[in-house]
């Protein structure tokens, strides 16, 4: 039998080959196992049996088909004004938030505000606003203003402001840099650098973040009604509680269609702003 | 040779332990087209940026012919002086979503109040001058186009117009053709030289292209490891000196001082 030819040169060449990946396999396996273990621990802690969850789907499907179908389209005309209200809550809330967030964003970005204590104060205040969910804001505000539309609007503004301001600030910091350096070099003041340099370049990011937030707010404003903060949510809730499932389905379907239409329009708009 | 415009004495800049500029003494005169060459990290950009205080020097003096010590200026006084020094950047640094004429008018920002610039109320004569400048650099068709719709060479010509709109006596150009193809580079350099010569401006240009340096410069400065190792006419830039200036980083100025480098013009190599 012929033995395999030994070539020290080839061996050394092979050992000097550049590796195709620098990620150790063991680390990938460890991280994946850890992630799966955390999810499994959450299920065990909550006492949820995955099998039960899957088994509930056929019952849910059959309940939906027998009790909700067909939708009662007659319920739509009486409530269309509330659906429109829901959309306008999102429009008004996002509009006011975007103006306030623009001011806060300018105070939050290092490139536009060099006063550290002011930056930190704004950051702290906004992080409180941002980290309280919109439904919690609505529930708290109902104690102050009572049930009504104003609660929904303020809840949306509070919940949106923190998120938008932070997103705006990050985008402003990204567009600053070299371009602002040129304006600094011509002797422009801070205000001139912001208005002539940062804001024109920030417009696409501003449109994108605002439309993205609008879509989130549209869904939030539908839910807000369920805690009495105005909009269609309260009627959907009442219909469900009174077992008028056909009416509820008609309203949910109309709302979903309007949300999808709005998403389609905002996506078109987003593509046009560059 | 024109009158002295700028005198720099013992200019130093350190970043932590790294010394980017190691005591530069030099003078620049009105109307001269100076090209600085040197390898990446030699200190060319730091030097240019120290002149208009985009970077604060660690030590030294930057004195203009009007007696202003640039290194001592703060706040509004610094902005006023900066407004008199034009600057051209490697990446043009235009505001892409704004049209060409507005980008050129940005050169006036340091000379008009905020509210006037916000409303676009620049003096009529300055607006006319901006249009004439753009026509002069061959961009009359692009005046109302968005800046980000232009080619690299066109953008850089807009950058030159913006700098000239400042009515400067000194123009600083930090690698203005480093991102351009050879043809565009030639157009931009022609344009820069013509405009500065017509107006009698002093122009200090950082370049990597030695052939361009020889072609356009009235005076060439070689920078190596934060020191000036050559200051002379383009003829002084022999192949040997070019090799020395661009030789490996391990060569220190001290080592260079021991090496005999041919001298010509104002100052010999490794003299600084």
pLDDT of B216-234, one tens digit each? 999 999 999 889 988 988 8
ipTM above 0.90, yes or no: no
**Least CB-CB distance to B114: which of A179, A187, A192?**
A192
In this predicted structure, the answer to whether residue A23 has a pLDDT above a threshold of 80 is no
Range A197-219 average pLDDT: 88
Most confident of A81-85, A126-130, A151-155, B199-203: B199-203
pLDDT at residue B158 greater than cutoff 90:
yes
Say if A207 is an interface residue toward chain B (CB within 8 Å): no
* Cβ-proximal residues to B104 (8 Å cutoff; 6+ apart), any chain: B130, B133, B134, B158, B161, B162, B165
Determine the average pLDDT of the residues in B6-35. Answer: 91
CA dist A248 and A262 (Å) reads 21
The end-to-end CA distance of chain B, in Å, is 22
Question: Could you give the 3-state DSSP secondary structure of residue A113?
Answer: coil
Contact at CB, B93 and A189, closer than 8 angstroms: no
Which class is A75-273 in CATH? Answer: mainly alpha
CA distances to A99, A168, A206, B114, B253 from A108, rounded to whole Å, are: 14, 9, 15, 22, 45
DSSP B111: G
pLDDT for the residue numbered A273: 77
Whether residue B80 lies within 8 A of chain A, CB to CB, comes out as: yes
Q: Domain ranges in chain A?
A: 18-67, 75-273
Confidence at A34, pLDDT banded by 50, 70, 90 = very high
Using left for φ > 0, alpha for ψ between -120 and 50, and beta otherwise, residue A97 falls in alpha
Q: From chain A, pick out residues whose CB is under 8 angstroms from the CB of B107.
A: 186
Number of Cβ within 10 Å of residue A272's Cβ equals: 7
Q: From chain B, pick out residues whose CB is under 8 angstroms from the CB of A196.
A: 95, 98, 106, 109, 117
Residue B154 touches chain A, beta carbons under 8 Å? no
So what's the pLDDT on residue B267?
A: 47
Chain-chain contact of B95 with A179 (C-beta, under 8 angstroms): yes
- Judge: B117–A192 Cβ closer than 8 Å, yes or no: yes
Residue B220 sits at φ, ψ, to 5 deg, of: -120, 135
Q: Is the pLDDT of residue A217 over 80?
A: yes
């Amino acid at each position: 039998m012929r033995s395999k030819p030994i070539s020290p040169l080839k061996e050394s060449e092979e050992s000097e080959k550049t590796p195709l990946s620098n990620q150790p396999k063991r680390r990938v396996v460890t991280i994946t196992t850890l992630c799966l273990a955390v999810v499994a621990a959450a299920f065990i802690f909550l006492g949820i049996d995955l099998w039960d969850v899957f088994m509930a789907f056929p019952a849910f499907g059959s309940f939906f088909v027998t009790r909700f179908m067909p939708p009662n389209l007659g319920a739509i005309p009486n409530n269309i004004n509330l659906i429109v209200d829901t959309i306008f809550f999102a429009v008004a809330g996002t509009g006011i938030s975007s103006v306030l967030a623009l001011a806060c964003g300018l105070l939050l970005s290092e490139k536009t505000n060099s006063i550290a204590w002011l930056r930190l104060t704004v950051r702290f205040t906004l992080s409180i606003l941002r980290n309280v969910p919109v439904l919690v804001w609505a529930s708290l505000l109902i104690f102050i203003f009572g049930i009504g539309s104003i609660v929904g609007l303020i809840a949306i503004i509070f919940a949106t402001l923190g998120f938008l301001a932070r997103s705006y600030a990050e985008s402003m910091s990204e567009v600053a840099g070299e371009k602002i350096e040129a304006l600094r070099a011509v002797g422009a003041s801070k205000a001139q650098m912001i208005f002539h340099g940062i804001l024109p370049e920030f417009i696409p990011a501003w449109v994108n973040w605002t439309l993205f937030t609008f879509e989130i707010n549209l869904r939030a404003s539908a839910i807000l009604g369920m805690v009495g903060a105005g909009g269609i949510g309260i009627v959907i809730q009442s219909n469900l509680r009174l077992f008028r499932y056909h009416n509820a389905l008609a309203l949910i379907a109309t709302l979903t269609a309007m949300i999808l239409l709005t998403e389609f329009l905002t996506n078109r708009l987003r593509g046009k702003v560059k | 040779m024109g009158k002295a415009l700028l005198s720099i004495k013992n200019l130093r800049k350190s970043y932590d332990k790294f010394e980017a500029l190691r005591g530069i003494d030099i003078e620049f005169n009105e109307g001269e087209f100076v090209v600085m060459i040197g390898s990446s990290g030699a200190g060319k950009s730091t030097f240019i940026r120290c002149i208009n205080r985009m970077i604060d020097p660690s030590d030294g003096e930057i004195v203009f012919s009007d007696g202003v010590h640039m290194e001592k200026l703060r706040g509004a006084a610094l902005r006023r002086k900066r407004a008199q020094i034009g600057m051209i950047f490697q990446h043009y640094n235009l505001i892409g979503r704004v049209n060409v004429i507005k980008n050129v008018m940005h050169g006036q920002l340091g000379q008009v109040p905020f509210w006037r610039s916000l409303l676009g109320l620049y003096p009529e004569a300055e607006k006319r001058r901006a249009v004439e400048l753009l026509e002069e650099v061959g961009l009359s068709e692009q005046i109302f186009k968005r800046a980000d719709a232009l080619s690299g060479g066109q953008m850089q010509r807009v950058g030159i117009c913006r700098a000239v709109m400042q009515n400067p006596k000194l123009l600083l150009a930090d690698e203005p053709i480093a991102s351009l193809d050879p043809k565009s580079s030639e157009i931009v350099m022609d344009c820069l030289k013509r405009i500065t010569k017509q107006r009698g401006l002093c122009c200090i240009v950082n370049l990597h292209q030695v052939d361009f340096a020889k072609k356009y410069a009235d005076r060439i400065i070689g920078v190596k490891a934060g020191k000036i190792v050559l200051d002379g006419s383009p003829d002084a830039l022999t192949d040997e000196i070019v090799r020395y200036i661009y030789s490996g980083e391990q060569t220190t100025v001290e080592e260079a001082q021991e090496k005999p480098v041919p001298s010509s013009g104002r100052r010999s190599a490794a003299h600084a």
